[in-house]
A and B are shown apart, each in its own frame.
Chain A
């Protein structure tokens, strides 16, 4: 074949490309795709790591459907998503929008916002855990006490715990989102704003009709990226509620933590955990597809 004996420049280029791609492809197939496929199979089986796998049909999914903890966790996961994504994006945009206009100490301020993104989630979670403790240990409650307010049970209340865990998660992701937003803002030509200035439209009109529409590609990326992040939240929750991971009373437990506990929490129900994983996979897939659809059109 001439492809091998006398390849054209294009064919030679493609051959090199495939040569370099071969290793990562092999890696991804064996480390990522094969286990993913296996998880789908496993979700129809019963397995405790020691005994041979046993086909059980849809049993795992039926158990899941009838498990009140699963539905609680399912709800929590969506609360993380539905509050976390918009709140973090709005804050990140407001910060980026203003930071873009600041010259003085610009680099320093940007670095300060980016710092939490580089910090280990575990370390951060433990620092925030300390913030939330009751008096005389916790920072927030000490402040409240010194101002004469009553104490707030941040992590020990079933209603406060989830927002309290979500706050540092949002904060940690801000730096990244701000950087991406700023890059998006910088890409908008200055003359667009100057033309609007001469036309005399208000700042709000400029924001709604020029800046935000032109930032759409940036927003699509950030919405999808941060949604996946919030749907997979784990480290923050696990580390801030170590005494009773996902507690109190499953109030903060996200799906990933439930999967972890089902698989490695003592009973090693691998099949059941795999079924939960498949559900998480489907949620991620559907949410991402919906977002891409909605944000791409219009």
Chain B
């Protein structure tokens, strides 16, 4: 097991800088998820930690040792790829054992380790099958098995669930989390799916355009997003952001509604849909007309037109207002952001 530190890590392709000197310290045994939209640099960061990409500037440290010039095989890491990278012409046993090819242990020990890994993953009866005879989820487990069998100090996952269907993804997600709880190995996991990030991570690293937007526990990034990007990226449906101007005691929205708040000047008021419930139009600070209702069972998402701006609110699962109804909205919790820079005002 080991810590991982990135110091001013930079990646350039020719003259284009894609990663702008990021800093990140990962504790021993921590499960860290790098999340962000396509092209944010999360995979590049992971590949630099793995040693598959050269470091342009800054350092990667694994277990306190700078590994910028260390070959991938000597970094004591294992990686699970998006397309699994399991070899179609080898049996599951050979695939899992491939990672032990260079390990300096006896044949019996290797066989024992392969068996033990298969046992952990519930793949024992499939050991002699070819990958083509396995389902997507089983292939994924072979890929994880191949990483596990090497007993590395850091696991790297590069979007390992994105080729699975929704149900299997949820299931495998839980298995990965259980596996981490059992093994206690440091994990760095890359995904573009914020739900995966929230459910798996000890800490989430949200990235955009080659820079880190926020690092924090799932609760931190959800409840106190550092800026409007994080606010909108984490949580589904996205947080509502409404322009307003504050005079120190009240925030006046574009619709004319006034909400109590201490900010001054032009701000963006962020309200999560689940913090916005329909009520009596007469007593609520905001009024609007329902355009669309999406029943989800436990709740109903209401798309409300508030003075020209579309706001998403959360209504009850049963008996929610329908399209055309005029409703009042009372926000419970507010997130205030600077209108110009988008950073949170606390």
Contact = CB atoms under 8 A, between A and B. Distances in A.
A112 to B, nearest CB: 28
A192 B102 contact: no
A217 to B, nearest CB: 11
A201 B78 contact: no
Given A199-B102, A214-B88, A194 B81 contact: yes
A103 B146 CA distance: 32
A210 B87 contact: yes
A210 B73 CA distance: 17
B85 A200 contact: no
Contacts of B78: 198
Interface string A161-203: 0000000000000000000000000000101101111111110
Contacts of B65: none
Interface in A88-119: none
A183 B280 CA distance: 68
Contact of B72 (A191, A200, A202): A200
A197 B98 contact: no
Nearest to B77: A198
Contacts of A201: 98, 101-102
A216 B88 CA distance: 12
Contacts of B90: 209
A194 B101 contact: no
Contacts of A86: none
Contact of B101 (A189, A199, A216): A199
Central interface residue in A189, A199, A200, A209, by most chain B CB within 10 Å: A199
Main secondary structure of the interface of B (DSSP, over half): loop
Main secondary structure of the interface of A (DSSP, over half): helix
Contact of B89 (A196, A202, A213): A213
Contacts of B87: 192, 209-210, 213-214
B111 interface: no
B52 interface: yes
Interface string B166-177: 000000000000
B143 to A, nearest CB: 8
B83 A191 contact: yes
Contacts, number: 59
A8 interface: no
A195 B102 contact: no
Contacts of B74: 200
B212 to A, nearest CB: 25
B22 to A, nearest CB: 22
Contact of B85 (A191, A202, A209): A191
A205 interface: yes
Interface residue tally on A, bucketed by range: 10 to 19
A202 B89 CA distance: 19
B44 to A, nearest CB: 13
B83 A189 contact: yes
A209 B78 CA distance: 20
A197 B72 contact: yes
B50 interface: yes
B235 interface: no
Contacts of B73: 197-200
A195 B81 CA distance: 8
B79 interface: yes
B85 A192 contact: yes
A57 B63 CA distance: 85
A216 B102 CA distance: 25
Contact of A194 (B77, B85, B88, B98): B85
Contact of A199 (B52, B82, B89, B98): B98
Contacts of A210: 87
B272 interface: no
Interface string B94-116: 00001101100000000000000
Contacts of B89: 213-214, 216
Nearest to B150: A199
A191 B101 CA distance: 18
B52 A194 contact: yes
B71 interface: yes
B101 A195 contact: no
Nearest to B84: A191
Contacts of A195: 79, 81, 85, 146
Nearest to A195: B85
Contacts of B150: 199
Central interface residue in B77, B90, B99, by most chain A CB within 10 Å: B99
Interface in B4-30: none
A214 B89 CA distance: 7
Nearest to A197: B72
A185 to B, nearest CB: 15
Contacts of B82: 191
B101 A198 contact: no
Interface string B182-220: 000000000000000000000000000000000000000
A285 to B, nearest CB: 29
A195 B77 CA distance: 11
B196 to A, nearest CB: 20
Contacts of A200: 71-74, 101-102
Contacts of B99: 199
Contacts of A202: 102
27 contacts: A189-B83, A189-B85, A191-B83, A191-B85, A194-B50, A194-B52, A194-B81, A195-B79, A195-B85, A196-B98, A197-B71, A198-B52, A198-B72, A198-B73, A199-B98, A200-B74, A200-B101, A201-B98, A201-B102, A202-B102, A209-B87, A209-B90, A209-B98, A210-B87, A213-B87, A214-B88, A214-B89
Interface of A: 189, 191-192, 194-202, 205, 209-210, 213-214, 216
Given A199-B101, A214-B88, 4 more contacts: A189-B85, A198-B79, A199-B150, A200-B72
